[in-house]
Structure 1
Amino acid sequence: MARDDVTGKPSSAAGGWGALKSVGRHLMGSRAPLSGAQTMLRANQPDGFDCPGCAWGDPEHGSSFEFCENGVKAVAWEATRDRVTPEFFAAHTVTELRGWSDHDLEYQGRLTHPLRYDAATDRYLPVDWDTAFGEIGAALKALPHPDAAEFYTSGRASNEAAFLYQAFVRLFGTNNFPDCSNMCHEASGVALSAAIGIGKGTVLLEDFELADAIFVVGQNPGTNHPRMLADLRRATARGARVVAVNPLKEKGLKRFADPQDKLEMIQGGSRPTSTDFLCPRLGGDMALFRGMAKLVFAAEDRAQAEGRPPVLDHAFIAAHTEGLADWRAEVEATGWSEIEAQSGLSRDEIAHAAGIYMEADRVILTWAMGITQHRHSVATIREMTNLMFLRGNIGRPGAGLCPVRGHSNVQGDRTVGINEKPAAAFLDAMERELGVPMPRAPGHNVLGAIGAMLDGSAKAFVALGGNFARATPDSALIAAAMMRLDLTVNIATKLNHGHLLPGRASYILPCLGRTEIDRNAAGDRQIVSVEDSMGMVHGSGGINLPAAPGLRSEIAIVAGIAAATVGSQVLDWDALAQDHDAIRDMIARVLPDFGDFNTTLRRPRGFRLRNRAAERIWTTPSGRAVFDARPLPEATEWQQAAGQAGTFVLQTFRSHDQYNTTIYGMDDRYRGVFRERRVVFMHPGDIARLGLEPGARVTLRGLHEDGVERVVEGFRLVSHDIPTGCIAGYYPELNALVPHGLFGEQSHTPVSKSVLVRVEAA
């Protein structure tokens, strides 16, 4: 059990004094403690900025404390007074900086000047904005064809920046949009689009106040979206059942001490965030839900035979769905021995979960990357959705589906057009708006972009935020491929490893952060918008002075590159950069669901985009919600590893002191790991079977048979409560073991939660 950072005693809950101490440490560490604290008071407020952390919804933009430990880290990290100036690059070569850790690179502070790589000195040198834009535009126009360029987007980008970006790239002539969503929730979008006609969840935050049961599957809110913990604990306090389904019994999934509850903090108390816990093996979730469905059907048969009220919602099924008979046949054909072997759970455990589901009138099912990063992720989400159809748990208050996104606007970027396979209706609307044809051929997602880099057909890479090289699988291969490109461009607030893999020409373009004031030439303060996991669109306006006088917004940088590349005959890029309202007017014309965008955005809580599935309107080909019938996987990675000495299935995840690839510190408070990241979490029995002791150093070898050797060395074994045969460790350090050639069926998402590896004594 991890110690409490304040008392030194074991802690059993997330939050509490440890969270408050962490908040204080990060505010002080920003070198701007007073301004950092004042900044946090304007997070998620009507006249402030939207938190740049996670995409969990806000109950209202009115509480002075509607933020969490993660939000403080993100804001303090951005609001630091440290600066990475041209003098910094004069003192350090790119080769030297590549040897620095992820944490140390970003800890240096905010980028201040546009930079161009000079191969002769192996350094980045300052360049003026107009020269940078002109040279980038010339390099893009010199490519053999538009599809030779890859245009990456991070979920940090605003709706306005993302919309302008996709307009520029499509005017350039390609749909190559590798996007951070390709690496996380792509399976959710694919599965839900097929099942209910929209690739988003169906609930609002208020639905968590009404649900009788909430299934929290494959996610760790204590680390990834801490504000969710308060909603889960309120649910348990009013008597709802909260069922946590996760291979690791993470602290946030058990108890939470609310740092905003003064009495609780004084008394040292905490309250439960779940009432029940299931620990399936990695990849075993589909089998769990198949078993639950099998029990629901059996209960329905008994109810009919005994003349009792039905278990199924026959009215919903008849009026709104298709395909039940085929799926039920598949469920009946699946034996209990297969279900138990694949899930790693007993029939009794599955029956307990099924009983909770059947006893609840209103159920929410929420999930994250523990579900979406497997080979059979789409099938698993379809199975989960099938179960929710049985009792009509979609499209009514207190019930529904809730994929929890990661970065603050990853969902919004997709909504406004960052999509390598855009819908024909969207392209039609863009053509009506711009008066010119749009490219129609599907472009590259992340894995497509990686393949193009590796085979040499990709020549240029432009990144609107993010750290592509560290977020992707097969880190070493990707790094080498990026350095063979003709052009790399990174729009960023801080230095990261992706910037240190320059192509023949390479630029770093520093931008304003979410917390900083963006004024146009007339001096007017501009705002942007983001969309959270519940489809709520919020306004965001910075309140701090820019980190450096010459910084430009992401929108202005995109506009500058676009003008230099495709010209301003179709769109007046400079005018759009000067007036974000004009961009929103354009978005609303292309996407009518945004309505009177500029008016509704300025409401205190923003507005919700229309969600037809939440209204029980299914925009599927048949106009109905669709049951999906398919067998369980023939064998999960755990089943492939079973019986092979020293072979395990690995999942990568975040430490508590990081967000995506940003490493805030070296501690993982909730898992009891301090000042270290090169660790592997393993069941104590598995450690003993290897003939090792906790703390031993090991080597991990990837077992994907494609001729590529994947090895990481010097990782320390940490004894942990995790199913036997399963191990876990942090990304990006372990991304080197994730093969880019193994990905989710239909989703093409890297299988970062099911990697076969061999563990050997170092």
Structure 2
Amino acid sequence: MEKLKSKASIEPYHHAAGGWGAVKYVAINLIKEKVAGGNYRTLFKQNQPEGFDCPGCAWPDREHASTFEFCENGVKAVAAEATTKRVTPAFFEANTVATLMAQSDYELEQHGRLTDPMVYDAQTDKYVPISWDHAFKLIASHLNKLDNPARAAFYTSGRAGNEAAFVYQLFVRMFGTNNFPDCSNMCHEATSRGLPATVGVGKGTVTLHDFEQADTLLIFGQNPATNHPRMLGELREASKRGAVIVSINPLRERGLERFTDPQSMLEMLTMSSTKIASTFIQPKLGGDFALIKGVAKRTLELDDEAIAQGRERVLDADFIAQHTHGFDAFADDLRMQDWQELIDEAGVSREHIETLTRIYVNGKRVIATWGMGITQHKHSVQTVHMLSNLLMMRGNIGREGAGLCPVRGHSNVQGNRTVGIEEQPSQEFLDRLGKAFNFEPPREHGLDVVETVQEMLEGHVKVFIGLGGNFVMATPDTPRTFDALRSCDLTVHITTKLNRSHLIHGKDALILPTLGRTEIDVQNGVPQGVTVEDSMSMVHISYGMNKPASKNLMSETAIVANIAHATLGSDKIDWLGYASDYDRIRDAIESVLDGFENYNERIAQPGGFHLRVASREREWLTDTGKANFIPHKVQRDTPIRRAKQLHGDQLMTLMTTRSHDQYNTTIYALDDRYRGVFGQRRVVFINPEDIEMLGFKAGDWVDMSTVWDDGIERRANRFLIVAYDIPRGCIGAYYPETNPLVPLHSTGDICNTPTSKSIPVLLTRSQEEMALAA
């Protein structure tokens, strides 16, 4: 660690995103992971018709049949999975859980692939080998002795394919609960809960074809260069043909300024790049709602002016009349809205709102995309509603080259929700599931992530099973989440690599190693493919290419099916039959869900198929039968405002974010080169004027503490101050290091998503640094 610390530096990055820097880091990761030659060559099969699907982000591929297309972060994800480094039983024999806990998340990631199922031995504080059969019997024993099925929770990450996810939800519902906390609860739940109320479906309304036709792209709360690098290819093409691209984000991200496409020989050889965004709007954290409402208000004013002057309408009056409900109430609310309140809450000038409005109304085909910069706030659902309202004002939904585009994170997070990973399932879905499999599904809503942690803390949930992910490091209020998992009787993690969740364990604990997306999955002598659904509702199949990391691995689907078989038996469902032939699972999905007709035949076609999204075709699956305008007032009574009243300008609003060498909670390396951070992660980005106002200077070390009203002290210590272009009163730092600052019950209205982009904190000089100086 001293060697890593000696390399730590802050060096502003002045190059375009992508380019030779991306190529360099691709090479570094392949070398660092010791990826063998054969596995290296499989990169050329990534996202190809006969290849495998990238286990990284959910950005779609152009018909899943494009030429050699992968991004830097996709290579990192594949290299991490294709590594030759192994975590064997001998590794666990040499390391207690206590010694592993002392290692950083980065160090845990670097040990490599897990090879064998392991069970925790309390006497030695070590994980020891266990056979698969005994592991399944241990799980079944704990589940079957519960006095209520709701005392178990079943987590899912977005890495699971449709087949494993469907069997998982079927098993759990036959077991008797809807307790499905999943990664959606922590990222795009505001989208999933917000869009059905406005347009009837909790999914985006666009495809990549629309990106080819759009003349205006509004990018809200998103950093494509780090989170969805392949998206930059679409933005580059849009920019080159003259589309207007606007970045609306508190941070001015380098990847939205200029991009050198590593697959463009001309740009690479000439060291040239393409300008991406032409306009940058930087609202304060949580200011997007007021900003969007301001644009809507000004759009309405321009329409009023056009009517008064006898000019062409600014609003799409025909669309509003034919396809929407509630416009008059929405317009009344906009007219009554005070301008100064919007300006204050947005944190931008009236001129910036005018600029954004002019761009919006001049666009004929407008796409709005958004990431977690929109969804991780108290009023995130209201913001999604307001964004829908804005696009509906000019008919920008259900039209070629226009629409709503939430950009999901993990590769199959949207597909998991589609096939039933949902703690609040519809009655229609439960009816069809029960009919197809001859049982009565539980009808009560289950627990989401925040509720699961709380129920563990209160002693109600005693068994936790995680299908992928790193639950304890993805969730808020880290020390409390640690306590929650440790209170369980059994914790189970189905995973490819070691992470901290395996070290924060229940009285009994299992680590069950699984095949990765890149690996050949053979069942009964037949290679099996898994399907996923990307952010734009394209469903496609992929087959692994690499030899499995160990002969003792099982697929996620097989693990879930064996747990179900051991727990429920196979009198009603042939669980092991599902594990032996994934076509049978897809037939079962087809029998329950609309849109999956001829599932197996359609995925055999290159590129797969598109799941119909009704709102894309201007069919509105809402109570009114139309798209709904939903007005909202600016929220005045918020935790941030209350904390400001107590502490004035000393109070900072924290956003958690991830570095460029990170995917979700997985830390690939200690650099964030686009933000100029190298060899370290405990940094905090602050506006230079705030640094001076607070009495610090760049390079000082500070501790952060949360201002909350529940009497619990929340701290994250020793962060290096980095001067950065971020609005006054706002700061940014990486998760999971700052997750301890996010209160468990600081959640979004309606969606219950942790408000990780708006945490009230105070900064003080680092006690550790002061002690060292003394």
TM-score class normalised by the smaller sequence:
over 0.9
Task: Please state how far the C-alpha of 1:705 moved relative to its aligned partner.
Answer: 1.2
Equivalent position of 1:605 in the other structure: 607
Task: Please state how far the C-alpha of 1:64 moved relative to its aligned partner.
Answer: 3.7
Q: Size of the alignment, in residue pairs?
A: 755
One-letter code of the match for 1:352? T
Equivalent position of 2:76 in the other structure: 73
Using the alignment, how far apart are the partners of 1:54 and 1:465 within structure 2? 15
Equivalent position of 2:86 in the other structure: 83
8 Å CA contact 2:463–2:490 kept in 1: the answer is yes
From 509, 530, 533, the equivalent of 2:532 is 530
SS at match of 2:102: coil
Equivalent position of 1:331 in the other structure: 334
Equivalent position of 1:581 in the other structure: 583
- 1:193-342 paired onto structure 2 within 5 Å: 193-342=196-345
One-letter code of the match for 1:232? L
Using the alignment, how far apart are the partners of 1:407 and 1:717 within structure 2? 30
SS at match of 2:539: strand
Using the alignment, how far apart are the partners of 2:265 and 2:594 within structure 1? 45
Which deviates the most, 626-635 or 318-327? Answer: 626-635
Task: Please state how far the C-alpha of 1:33 moved relative to its aligned partner.
Answer: 4.7
One-letter code of the match for 1:622? T
- 1:179-198 paired onto structure 2 within 5 Å: 179-198=182-201
Equivalent position of 2:565 in the other structure: 563
Task: Please state how far the C-alpha of 1:672 moved relative to its aligned partner.
Answer: 0.4
Equivalent position of 2:556 in the other structure: 554
User: 1:319-376 CA deviation, whole Å, 9 max, x = no partner?
Assistant: 1100111111111111111011010111111011101111111100000100000000
Which deviates the most, 322-331 or 652-661? Answer: 322-331
1:743 aligns with 2:754: no
Using the alignment, how far apart are the partners of 1:23 and 1:169 within structure 2? 40
Task: Please state how far the C-alpha of 1:63 moved relative to its aligned partner.
Answer: 3.0
One-letter code of the match for 2:339? W
Using the alignment, how far apart are the partners of 1:186 and 1:533 within structure 2? 14
Using the alignment, how far apart are the partners of 2:638 and 2:727 within structure 1? 14
Task: Please state how far the C-alpha of 1:640 moved relative to its aligned partner.
Answer: 4.8
User: 1:656-709 CA deviation, whole Å, 9 max, x = no partner?
Assistant: 000000000000010000110011000111111122111111010011111110
Which deviates the most, 705-714 or 30-39? Answer: 30-39
Paired-residue identity, %: 52
SS at match of 1:631: coil
User: 1:685-743 CA deviation, whole Å, 9 max, x = no partner?
Assistant: 11111221111110100111111100111111011000010000000000000001110
Equivalent position of 1:128 in the other structure: 131
SS at match of 1:593: coil
Task: Please state how far the C-alpha of 1:46 moved relative to its aligned partner.
Answer: 0.7
One-letter code of the match for 2:534? D
1:678 aligns with 2:686: no
Equivalent position of 2:692 in the other structure: 688
Using the alignment, how far apart are the partners of 1:12 and 1:342 within structure 2? 33
From 111, 115, 121, the equivalent of 1:112 is 115
SS at match of 1:349: helix
8 Å CA contact 1:179–1:418 kept in 2: the answer is yes
Equivalent position of 2:546 in the other structure: 544
- 1:376-391 paired onto structure 2 within 5 Å: 376-391=379-394
8 Å CA contact 1:208–1:235 kept in 2: the answer is yes
One-letter code of the match for 1:389? M
Using the alignment, how far apart are the partners of 2:188 and 2:357 within structure 1? 26
Runs of 4+ in 1 over 4 A off after TM superposition: 635-643
User: 1:212-246 CA deviation, whole Å, 9 max, x = no partner?
Assistant: 11100000001000011111121111111111100
Equivalent position of 2:771 in the other structure: none
Equivalent position of 1:644 in the other structure: 648
Using the alignment, how far apart are the partners of 2:343 and 2:637 within structure 1? 13
User: 1:92-125 CA deviation, whole Å, 9 max, x = no partner?
Assistant: 0011111111111111010000111000000000
8 Å CA contact 1:342–1:635 kept in 2: the answer is no
Using the alignment, how far apart are the partners of 1:487 and 1:97 within structure 2? 20
One-letter code of the match for 1:726? C
8 Å CA contact 1:388–1:394 kept in 2: the answer is yes
1:734 aligns with 2:738: yes
8 Å CA contact 2:457–2:487 kept in 1: the answer is no
Task: Please state how far the C-alpha of 1:11 moved relative to its aligned partner.
Answer: 2.2
Using the alignment, how far apart are the partners of 1:115 and 1:639 within structure 2? 48
Using the alignment, how far apart are the partners of 1:122 and 1:594 within structure 2? 47
Equivalent position of 2:634 in the other structure: 632
Task: Please state how far the C-alpha of 1:637 moved relative to its aligned partner.
Answer: 5.7
Using the alignment, how far apart are the partners of 1:297 and 1:722 within structure 2? 30
From 659, 664, 670, the equivalent of 2:663 is 659
Task: Please state how far the C-alpha of 1:636 moved relative to its aligned partner.
Answer: 5.7
User: 1:259-292 CA deviation, whole Å, 9 max, x = no partner?
Assistant: 1111211211111111111000000011111111
1:433 aligns with 2:447: no
User: 1:528-549 CA deviation, whole Å, 9 max, x = no partner?
Assistant: 1000000000111101010001
Using the alignment, how far apart are the partners of 1:481 and 1:449 within structure 2? 9
Using the alignment, how far apart are the partners of 1:35 and 1:545 within structure 2? 9
One-letter code of the match for 2:603? L
Using the alignment, how far apart are the partners of 1:35 and 1:672 within structure 2? 34
SS at match of 1:644: helix
1:92 aligns with 2:95: yes
One-letter code of the match for 1:453? M
Using the alignment, how far apart are the partners of 2:712 and 2:70 within structure 1? 44
Equivalent position of 1:22 in the other structure: 25
One-letter code of the match for 1:603? Q
One-letter code of the match for 1:678? R
Unmatched tracts of structure 1, length 5 or more: none
TM-score (norm 1): 0.98
Task: Please state how far the C-alpha of 1:35 moved relative to its aligned partner.
Answer: 2.8
From 663, 687, 712, the equivalent of 2:716 is 712
8 Å CA contact 2:13–2:673 kept in 1: the answer is no
Task: Please state how far the C-alpha of 1:61 moved relative to its aligned partner.
Answer: 2.6
Change over 3 Å in CA distance of 1:640–1:18 after alignment to 2: farther
8 Å CA contact 2:302–2:314 kept in 1: the answer is yes
Equivalent position of 1:443 in the other structure: 446
Using the alignment, how far apart are the partners of 1:536 and 1:60 within structure 2? 9
User: 1:38-83 CA deviation, whole Å, 9 max, x = no partner?
Assistant: 1111111111111001000111333342210010000000000010
Task: Please state how far the C-alpha of 1:126 moved relative to its aligned partner.
Answer: 0.3
Using the alignment, how far apart are the partners of 1:315 and 1:555 within structure 2? 49
From 11, 14, 24, the equivalent of 1:11 is 14
SS at match of 2:167: helix
8 Å CA contact 2:13–2:674 kept in 1: the answer is no
Using the alignment, how far apart are the partners of 1:33 and 1:351 within structure 2? 55
Equivalent position of 2:4 in the other structure: none
Change over 3 Å in CA distance of 1:688–1:36 after alignment to 2: farther
Change over 3 Å in CA distance of 1:228–1:635 after alignment to 2: farther
User: 1:7-48 CA deviation, whole Å, 9 max, x = no partner?
Assistant: x99523211111010011111112125234311111111111
SS at match of 2:266: helix
Task: Please state how far the C-alpha of 1:638 moved relative to its aligned partner.
Answer: 5.5
SS at match of 1:488: strand
8 Å CA contact 2:52–2:543 kept in 1: the answer is yes
One-letter code of the match for 1:630? H
User: 1:575-628 CA deviation, whole Å, 9 max, x = no partner?
Assistant: 100000000000011002111100111111110001100010011111110000
